[in-house]
């Protein structure tokens, strides 16, 4: 999910097919959960304000319109667009009014200090069910932005962006991306597409999407199966250090339209939802 400039269809640099393959068992280091939201609560209530900031409108204050992506929707705090479903999940729904105007939801964590301990790793994960059958223009995302972006809104991609999961147009494919560097075109992260991998989804329903941020690499996975890795050597030590020398905050949103998925069409179905069973941030080391 682009923080600022327009997005075009990313060039896939590598992928591993996801087909429910279970990796061989191996010893894993103990992890400490730093933060989580399980989205328990009555149906129709907003997610906890102590955990989340609600983004509203068409941009950050003073930021680029369309959230820098050419998005069409208006983000709201209306429970019709973002609320608990009463069964332990967050429901972000894209709606369309009689005049054809779209609305949806976008939230970001109050905390912006998520990063690994020295020499350790940080895991950011969510169990999600993607909108089923929304069609052209749907763009759900689970992603992060570097803390220096908050309140500045002009230092993208230098502040860093890790897209844990993106999906467009109800395709059975998900994408993971790193954005970095000092330029919005080219640079070590090959902007504005970023360093992008993708994997197909063999089935619908809920899947666990995660990124593991270690001392010298990022690794993306679906249901525990890695499919994409970016290392320090890929972007260079200087860029790696500047990109990850600070904390990050986590975002969830369901966009409609934009430079990457394109506009909705007559076949696009309003009222489809991104369901979020949980979001967890854990650390080892």
**Do the domain assignments include residue 178?**
yes
**Do the domain assignments include residue 124?**
yes
Contact 239, 146 (CB under 8 A): no
Using CA atoms, how far apart are residues 133 and 130, in angstroms rounded to an integer?
Answer: 9
Rounded to the nearest integer, the mean pLDDT of the chain is 92
**Do the domain assignments include residue 63?**
yes
CATH code at position 199: 2.60.120.200
Q: For the beta carbon of residue 45, count every other beta carbon within 10 angstroms.
A: 13
pLDDT of 19: 37
**Do the domain assignments include residue 25?**
no
**Rg, Å, the chain Cα set:** 18
Looking up tokens 């991609």 gives: 157
Active-site residues, by number, are 161, 166
**Do the domain assignments include residue 35?**
no
Q: pLDDT per residue over 118-130, tens digit each?
A: 999 999 999 999 9
pLDDT of 252: 99
pLDDT of 285: 82
pLDDT of 30: 86
Task: Look at the chain and report how many structural domains it folds into.
Answer: 1
**Do the domain assignments include residue 94?**
yes
**Helix (H), strand (E) counts: the chain:** 2, 19
Structural domain span for residue 45:
12-18+40-269
Instruction: Find the Cα–Cα–Cα–Cα dihedral 65, 67, 238, 183, rounded to 10°.
Output: -40
pLDDT of 27: 54
**Do the domain assignments include residue 279?**
no
**Do the domain assignments include residue 93?**
yes
pLDDT by 10s per residue, the chain, length 285? 766 443 433 334 344 333 334 444 445 668 999 999 999 999 999 999 999 999 999 999 988 899 999 999 999 999 999 999 999 999 999 999 999 999 999 999 999 999 999 999 999 999 999 999 999 999 999 999 999 999 999 999 999 999 999 999 999 999 999 999 999 999 999 999 999 999 999 899 999 999 999 999 999 999 999 999 999 999 999 999 999 999 999 999 999 999 999 999 999 999 999 999 999 999 998
Q: Rounded to 5, what percent of the chain is helix, strand, coil?
A: 5, 40, 55
pTM beyond 0.75: the answer is yes
**Percent of the chain at pLDDT exceeding 90:** 87
pLDDT of 2: 60
């Amino acid at each position: 999910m682009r923080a600022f400039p327009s997005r075009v269809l990313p060039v896939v640099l590598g992928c591993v097919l996801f087909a429910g393959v279970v990796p061989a068992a191996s010893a894993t280091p103990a992890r400490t959960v730093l933060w989580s939201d399980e989205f328990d609560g009555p149906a129709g209530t907003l997610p906890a304000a102590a955990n989340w900031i609600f983004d509203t409108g068409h941009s950050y204050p003073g930021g680029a319109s369309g959230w820098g992506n050419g998005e069409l929707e208006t983000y709201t705090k209306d429970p019709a667009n973002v609320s608990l479903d009463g069964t332990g999940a967050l429901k972000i729904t894209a709606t369309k009014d009689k005049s054809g105007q779209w609305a949806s939801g976008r939230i970001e964590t109050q905390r912006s200090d998520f990063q690994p301990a020295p020499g350790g790793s940080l895991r950011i994960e969510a169990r999600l069910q993607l909108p089923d059958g929304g069609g052209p223009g749907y763009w759900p995302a689970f992603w992060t932005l570097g803390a220096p972006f908050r309140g500045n809104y002009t230092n993208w991609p230098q502040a860093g962006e890790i897209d844990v999961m993106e999906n467009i147009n109800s395709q059975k494919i998900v994408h993971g991306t790193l954005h970095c560097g000092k330029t919005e075109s080219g640079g070590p992260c090959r902007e504005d597409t970023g360093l992008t991998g993708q994997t197909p989804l063999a089935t619908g329903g809920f899947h666990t999407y995660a990124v593991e941020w270690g001392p010298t690499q990022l690794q993306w996975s679906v249901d525990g199966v890695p499919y994409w890795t970016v290392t320090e050597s890929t972007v260079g030590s200087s860029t790696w250090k500047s990109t990850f020398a600070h904390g990050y905050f986590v975002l969830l949103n369901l966009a409609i339209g934009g430079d990457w998925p394109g506009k909705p069409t007559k076949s696009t179905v309003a009222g489809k939802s991104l369901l979020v069973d949980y979001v967890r941030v854990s650390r080892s080391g």
